[in-house]
Amino acid sequence: MNYNNTDFNNKTILITGGAGFIGSNLAFYFQENFPASNIIIFDCFRSESIFSNGNLQSFGHYKNLIGFKGKIICGNINNLNNLSLLSEYKFDYIFHQAAISDTRVYDQTIVMETNINSFYNLLNIAKKNNAAMIYASSGATYGSMPSPQTEGHESPENPYGFSKLMMDQIASQYSFKNPEMVIVGLRYFNVYGPREFFKGNTSSMVIQLGHQILAGKEPRLFKGSDKILRDFIYIDDVIQANIKACTPKKNGVYNVGTGVPRSFQDIADILQQELGTNFETQYFSNPYDGYQMHTQADISSSTKNLGFQSQISLEKGISAYIPEIKCLNGTKNK
């Protein structure tokens, strides 16, 4: 699938976080559609270190990259020696996805160090290489701002969302000082799709509910889930946004959502329809404070400046995802 006329063949592409969900999908997109592209993945993969919330410190997994034919560098973006391994390449594009992607990590030191400090170094690498920098921001920058969430109106409610907002500010200042560079931030909303499984309990509710249902269990949702609305976006639309971000009308940070809020109940219902089941939903109390109750990306600026528009409804995305959900059912997340 080509989203525009950019030819990535014979281009050198760095994907940080390429062993993770979105990064590995980007890698396979380039490999399949631009076989002469030179793809380099930089990722620390998973160690056995965990945060106090019980989740792994990084989710990268070799199984996301089975069949990948490009180069892999195992390294930590926080480590300058590791980053120096990139100096032998001349990059045309950098897709910076590596981050602590877990929104419930409250060790502020490591979140800020990983998501903010490393960004300065990666921007400097982009500048030195004259490479376009497309980086992952997040809908978490908005916190509980009323819908539709619009660029310029942020109020993060966790260290993760704050770190991403700081990246946006750094990018904006860097772009101001270096107007010849392409620097685009993409605020992904709730992404779902193949290769997210190894994010464990931080993966989307689509795969988590899918596996509950396939295990013969009733889908479990927070009370009032028909009124908790989110902007769920399928991975292919996220790839589209990354490709279009390489040729923006202007640098900036742009929302990447469908623009259509849907409920968690919708996900459970669509899954049941796809899987041919008819369980009663089980409801339980939401234990979280500051839970986002309604997200809906305003994508007018993304459409105007990137030409981005979501093409995949929740129904279509879940349907395309079902074979992988079935295939991974019962697999150990190790």
Q: Which residues are catalytic?
A: 160, 199
What binding mask, one character per residue, do residues 155-194 give for ligand NAD by CB under 6 A, x or -? ---------------------------------x-xx---
Q: Determine if 60 is a binding residue for ligand NAD (CB under 6 A).
A: yes
Contact 144, 290 (CB under 8 A): yes
- The least distance separating ligand NAD from the CB of residue 220, rounded to whole angstroms, comes to 20
In the range 255-284, which residues lie near ligand NAD by CB under 6 A? Answer: none
Task: Give long-range contacts, CB 8 A cutoff, 24+ apart: 241-244.
Answer: 241/186, 241/188, 241/302, 241/306, 241/308, 242/26, 242/95, 242/134, 242/186, 243/3, 243/4, 243/6, 243/29, 244/3, 244/4, 244/306, 244/307, 244/308
Q: Give the residue with the Cβ less far from ligand NAD, 12 or 114.
A: 114
Q: Determine if 43 is a binding residue for ligand NAD (CB under 6 A).
A: yes
For residue 331, CA distances in Å to 64, 179, 192, 214 come to 14, 48, 18, 12
- The least distance separating ligand NAD from the CB of residue 278, rounded to whole angstroms, comes to 29
- Secondary structure class of 220 (helix, strand, coil): strand
Cβ count within 10 A of residue 197:
22
Which residue's C-beta sits nearest to ligand NAD? 20
Q: Which stretch binds ligand NAD (CB under 6 A): 39-47, 126-134, 299-307, 323-331?
A: 39-47
Q: Determine if 29 is a binding residue for ligand NAD (CB under 6 A).
A: no
In the range 196-255, which residues lie near ligand NAD by CB under 6 A? Answer: 199
CA gap 169, 151 in Å, rounded: 12
Q: Give the residue with the Cβ less far from ligand NAD, 207 or 216.
A: 207
Q: Which stretch binds ligand NAD (CB under 6 A): 57-65, 85-93, 261-269, 322-330?
A: 57-65
Q: Interface residues with ligand NAD (CB under 6 A)?
A: 17, 19-23, 43-45, 58-60, 76-78, 97-101, 114, 136, 138-139, 188, 190-191, 199
